[in-house]
Amino acid sequence: MKYDPRIAQLRFYASFSVALYHLWTLQIIALPLFRPGWLGVPLFFELSIYLLLNRLDDNPSLLHYFKRRVKRIWPLYFLAVIVVFLTDKYTFHIDVSYYDLLLHFVFVSFVVKPFSFNYLFWSLQLEEWMYLFIPIIHRLSEKGKFYVATGLIVTTVVYSYFAVSQPYPVFHLLFFLPPFWLGAYGWGIIAYLTKEKNNHNIYYIILGVLITSYIFTALTIKEEVVYEFLTHFLIYNFMLPVFAMLINNPPKVLKKITALLGEVSYGIYLWTLLFQELYGLFGIPIGVAVAFLTEFPLRWKEILRRIFIF
């Protein structure tokens, strides 16, 4: 698959939107404008399966695939897990145990003990498990891929409807479990299957309408059940296919810096929440800086080659 800086830029937008969302969740800047920012997470998931299916087209070697995943993900993941564990334990004095740390090391805390670290490792662990299934999905026929995608999408539609009907403490738990997010992978498969067929721009209008609707809902709806139904069920499930169309026809690159930031978007996603908890608003630029310091040395040749070819 030819490198597309527009996709890298999308990854930056996704990571930055999550950072803005955490400004709201941490009540650093409690603007309803930031509440849709969590939607950067399913955009990440869609981009992930879309890109990996395409890369398996280019090189179907499983050894190459898993070696690349391990080199790309594990160094920063394990470093961040240890840093967050030590920060939670000795700075925030949160009751975290070495058992919690072990669950993170084997990528199962997101289902065994979802809130052992008050952090975003749950999404990275879900990604790790999906990495095992993506090569299997890739080997299916187009019809088989479509059936898998449909199953994932229907699972999320049904599950999210059930989740938003529950009292908030139950919904909060269900929100972080895999069925809520599987539809994003389903739409990522659809994006892969339709990559040669989508060349119109109406989805930009739809995307704007959905985000505006979300912000309007956040400003006007006070009843929690109604709010969750409109945002985490209705708007969410409409947003996922729009993301699929967006991936197939991304916006033009604004500047090389946005593509460069996209190349370290994994680090940005990984580090900004920790530094927002420590330093508030200034945590975002600090997190970006730490992302460069920790991710760029691991991939500097690849990143520079990509940035200078466009």
pLDDT digits (tens, 9 = 90+) for 254-303: 788 999 999 999 999 999 999 999 999 999 999 999 999 999 999 999 99
Report the pLDDT value the prediction gives residue 199, as an integer from 0 to 100: 60
Least confident of 13-27, 159-173, 204-218, 263-277: 204-218
pTM of the model: 0.95
Cα 112 to Cα 117: distance, rounded to the nearest angstrom: 12
Which distant-in-sequence residues (6+ apart) come within 8 Å of 217 by Cβ? 227, 230, 231, 235
Report the pLDDT value the prediction gives residue 62, as an integer from 0 to 100: 97
Report the pLDDT value the prediction gives residue 46, as an integer from 0 to 100: 98
Taking only the tens place, the pLDDT of each residue in 152-176 is 999 999 999 999 999 988 998 999 9
Averaged pLDDT score across all residues of the chain: 93
Compute how many other C-beta atoms are within 10 angstroms of the C-beta atom of residue 265: 26
pLDDT at 44 over 80: yes
Which distant-in-sequence residues (6+ apart) come within 8 Å of 54 by Cβ? 1, 192, 195
Report the pLDDT value the prediction gives residue 200, as an integer from 0 to 100: 64
Confidence band of 206 (pLDDT split at 50, 70, 90): confident
Residue 26: strand, helix, or coil: coil
Which segment, 199-203, 239-243, 252-256, is predicted with the most confidence on average?
A: 239-243
pLDDT at 110 over 70: yes
Cα–Cα nearest to 119, from 92, 147, 139, 140: 92
What angle (nearest 5°) sits at the alpha carbon of residue 201, between those of residues 46 and 253?
Answer: 70
Which segment, 105-119, 196-210, 255-269, is predicted with the most confidence on average?
A: 255-269
Cα–Cα nearest to 54, from 252, 154, 188: 188
Percent of the chain whose predicted confidence (pLDDT) is above 70? 98
Cβ(258)–Cβ(7) under 8 Å? Answer: no
Confidence band of 198 (pLDDT split at 50, 70, 90): low
